[in-house]
Structure 1
Amino acid sequence: MIRDSLGEEKSNMYIERGKKSIALLKEILAIPSVNGADNEGAVAEFIANYLKEKHIDAFVQQIDETHANIIAKLEGKSSETVVWNGHLDTVPYGNTEEWNTDPSIPVEKNGRIYARGASDMKSGLAAMVYLLGEIGESGEKPEQTILFLGTCDEEKSGLGAEKILEEIDLSSGSLLLIGEPTGCKLGVAQKGCIWAQLNISGKTSHGAYPEEGYNAVEYGMKIVCMIKKWVTEYEHRLLGTATAQVTMIQGGIAPNMTPDFAEILLDIRIVPGISAEDVEKKIKKICREEVEETNGEVKFEVRIKNARRAIEITEEERWLKEFKAYFKQNGAETEEIGINYFTDASILTKKESEIPVLLFGPGEPRLAHKPNEFVELEKYEKYIEILGEIFSINYQK
């Protein structure tokens, strides 16, 4: 009877914890934070107030009227610091007619919560915040000091992550854990991203006499093909092949005139083994060689609009081993995955020699930025349990 009573008590405790963590997730999802449309600082303010009420040292790092970060610190038993990160913003709702529910209002249905940001990545964000709050309220200390960073503007230029680096040195941390959607699988590698703008200047002529001009559009596309051929030579075991594609192009004057100018924007996704600097140098080299081929008649200008490096954690990293050991002890698979989209990791770790990065969150990568985005509540609650156990956090009195 005593054993049954204790089992029932533990079961009730887990049920109550689940209700509280889900309630927090819904509150965070209900705060609109569409990048470029809403005040992302509202989410930062909410989280800061929540954590302060739980006796956690937290403050809002204001950037401008619509952008702010939330920074919180929980002192551990040791000075070793692990960094937890999640972003506050979401992408736009898209065509709301493609949604079965209002994307701005969290809806719980069939063990899932539907809303924009449910998977990418307010579920990972809320789970970290909830766990920190529970520790603070319990008065217990984790083994390591936990530095929590809730960053704004991740979906665009990474304004929040850049601001963090102006005031905080993260290089001495033992781990940067980012709660991006991985389906509770271990995200050990992430593609980098370069947006390269090519401005090509040629020479116009009558459309009937193309040999008298230099077609800027065609020369631009020739360069693009050469860049793409070079980029796709690089591969990774989890991320696949590096890619390059034209995402924007404009040029031309009239149907019967050789275009004398073209502007092309390339989206290049790189894998570990090739850097943003490598890409920029290669593009400029190809352009220089093409200028020489035309005796300087065609000119090229290269502008790098975005440069985020590829990320990979090595198999020898201690924290990766800790996560794998946990999964093994609990009879679960330790599947490793690669992430094709970029995250704040490529800003928060400017150099490969800095803090190791692990991407790990309850959302699903396939649902990011799509209609009817959701998170499975079972994975959300499991995620909280995993973080608590791996970081040796005991917040049960």
Structure 2
Amino acid sequence: MFDKEKLSVLVRENQEELITLCSKLLQIPSENPEGDTTEITAFIEKYLNENGIETEIFEPDPKRFNIIAKIGNPNGKKLIYCGHSDTVPVGDLDKWDFSPFSGEIKDGYLLGRGASDMKAGLAGLIFSLVLLKRHDVALDGQLILAVVPDEESGGDYGVPWLLENKVITGEGCLIAEPSSELNPTIGQKGSCWFKLTVNGVPGHGSLAPFVGTNAIVDAIRAIEKIRTVTDLPIQPPKELEKLLAVSNQYLIENERSETKGVFEKITCNVGTINGGTSSNVVADKCVVQVDCRLPFGTTYDETMAYIKKELDQLEIDYTIESFGFKSSANYTPAEDPICQAVVENITYTLEKPAYGVLQWACSDARHFREFDIPVLQYGPAELETIHGFNEKVKVHQVVTCANVYVLAAVDFLNRRG
């Protein structure tokens, strides 16, 4: 039996190294969809190598690099620690109160793009691997670090590529995606992204609507039909009633009561609209990008079939093309050993009861479940700043999560049965 307190002391004694590591990661731009992780990959590889950990680098797409590092006993069971090195774009720099690549520490926060999603969590994973290696902590199994390059674009060159090519496998996985301090996410909604293209007939704007067919006007009618997916009654599986109830209670307790029921509904966000060429020309094309998230009780195919049925009633000229994220809702049972190891060590670290909940978004977790690898997510975050301006994360949460990562790894890999 390992001594949790001694390991926790090691984390606290080395927390400055952890925070410095996180700060340096934030200073390296790795925006996606640009998708260039060359610089951040070189930094992580050097840090691991300097600490006696060998790495393997895979480049399935130009400038998109996967990093694999392993410690422990390769003959025992395997635990994957996974994080992505890419971030969403910073957007309008004038709307930031600080440089998004400063990595500055101010008022107890680490500041910068990716602070919450998810360079702070990634730093914690890297740090936990180094700490366990540096202090020769005995592991009956193998801890595998997988740093992937394109989670934010929903691409195929990170986790899916590693799993399909059998680069990694394991009996459990933890992804350091942002979560609340006491509530790792053990399940995610599904995702249905699609691009709607509506075609019209151009004409002189002064004669509309007498001549031509306006693609923008038809697209507005189409959007109204698409948004009715939110009203569809969904019947979740009976075995998920308890998890759904716990997850909805979590929303209330964390002052998100306005979103209660989000786990049982299809959500629909019209993200972009592009149409027409000039105000005095009847628009001949309008392209709309839509993001729907799917609860348990429905599938991607069922959702798309409903949308197409509704659009066909309009008698408009349209096409639909899927892109980005595509999945049905999925989860890992709370009783699974990896879930128990993480939840128990959150409770130990924070001295408060922890429990797993559902997430209203989706993530790389779905790929691990497709390969029958139990997985959950837990990472430091200032949730309201994710993907927004002035992204930040509390320093103490970075340390807390790193402590959980260290304890959970040893617990899971050394636990019998």
C-alpha offsets along residues 279-319 of structure 1, whole Å, 9 cap, x if unaligned? 333333434x43xx74xxx4332111223323322233232
Partners of 2:132 and 2:406 within 8 A in 1:
no
C-alpha offsets along residues 50-108 of structure 1, whole Å, 9 cap, x if unaligned? 22233323122124553211111223375322211111112233333443332212112
Letter in 2 for 1:372: N
Letter in 1 for 2:345: Y
- Tell whether 2:119 aligns with 1:122: yes
Q: What are the equivalent positions in structure 2 for 1:1-397 lying under 5 Å apart?
A: 15-36=12-33, 39-76=36-73, 79-158=76-155, 159-168=157-166, 173-184=170-181, 185-202=183-200, 216-233=215-232, 237=244, 238=247, 239-240=262-263, 241-252=265-276, 261-287=285-311, 289-290=312-313, 294=315, 298-309=316-327, 310-328=329-347, 331-346=351-366, 348-349=367-368, 351=370, 354-392=372-410
2:253 is aligned to none
2:239 is aligned to none
Q: Structure 2: where are the runs of 5+ without partners?
A: 1-5, 237-243, 248-261, 413-417
Distance 1:27 1:251, change over 3 A: closer
Partners of 1:178 and 1:358 within 8 A in 2:
yes
- Give the deviation of 1:360 after TM superposition: 0.4
Structure 2 distance, partners of 1:62, 1:11, is 36
- Give the deviation of 1:378 after TM superposition: 1.4
Structure 2 distance, partners of 1:42, 1:12, is 32
Structure 2 distance, partners of 1:33, 1:256, is 41
Number of corresponding residues:
377
Structure 2 distance, partners of 1:129, 1:328, is 22
Distance 1:83 1:97, change over 3 A: same
C-alpha offsets along residues 235-255 of structure 1, whole Å, 9 cap, x if unaligned? 683443321132223445776
Letter in 2 for 1:168: K
Structure 2 distance, partners of 1:378, 1:78, is 35
Structure 1 distance, partners of 2:58, 2:83, is 15
Give the TM-score normalised by the residue count of structure 2.
Answer: 0.78
> 1:136 aligns to what SS in structure 2?
helix
Distance 1:286 1:12, change over 3 A: closer
- Give the deviation of 1:186 after TM superposition: 1.1
Letter in 2 for 1:267: D
Letter in 2 for 1:188: I
> 1:362 aligns to what SS in structure 2?
coil
Give 4+ residue runs of structure 1 displaced > 6 Å after superposition. Answer: 9-12, 204-209, 253-258
Distance 1:260 1:316, change over 3 A: same
Q: Structure 1: where are the runs of 5+ without partners?
A: 1-8
- Give the deviation of 1:38 after TM superposition: 7.4
RMSD of the alignment, in Å? 3.3
